[in-house]
Amino acid sequence: MQNGSICQDFIVNLTQKQVSEKVGMKNVYSYQRLEKKSNPSLQMIKKITSIFPAIKLEMLF
């Protein structure tokens, strides 16, 4: 996996759509933009790490 990607859905065995729904995004395209080296907000980082505690903060960057 490329460092800097938020593409962790394979770790939790969920599709991009399922992950986007879990983190409260309006659609899968928002999640896909997040995977493409966008800078997530602190609020989004907190949400991802609270929903998926097995994902370490260091893995998101």
Q: Would you kindly state where each structural domain of the chain is located, as residue ranges?
A: 16-60
Torsion of CA 30, 50, 59, 27, to 10 degrees: -10
DSSP string computed for 1-61: --TT----TTTTT--HHHHHHHTT-SSHHHHHHHHTT----HHHHHHHHHH-TTS-GGGG-
In tens, the pLDDT along 3-61 reads 444 455 555 678 888 888 988 888 888 888 887 777 888 888 888 888 888 777 776 66
Q: Which pTM value belongs to this model? A: 0.64
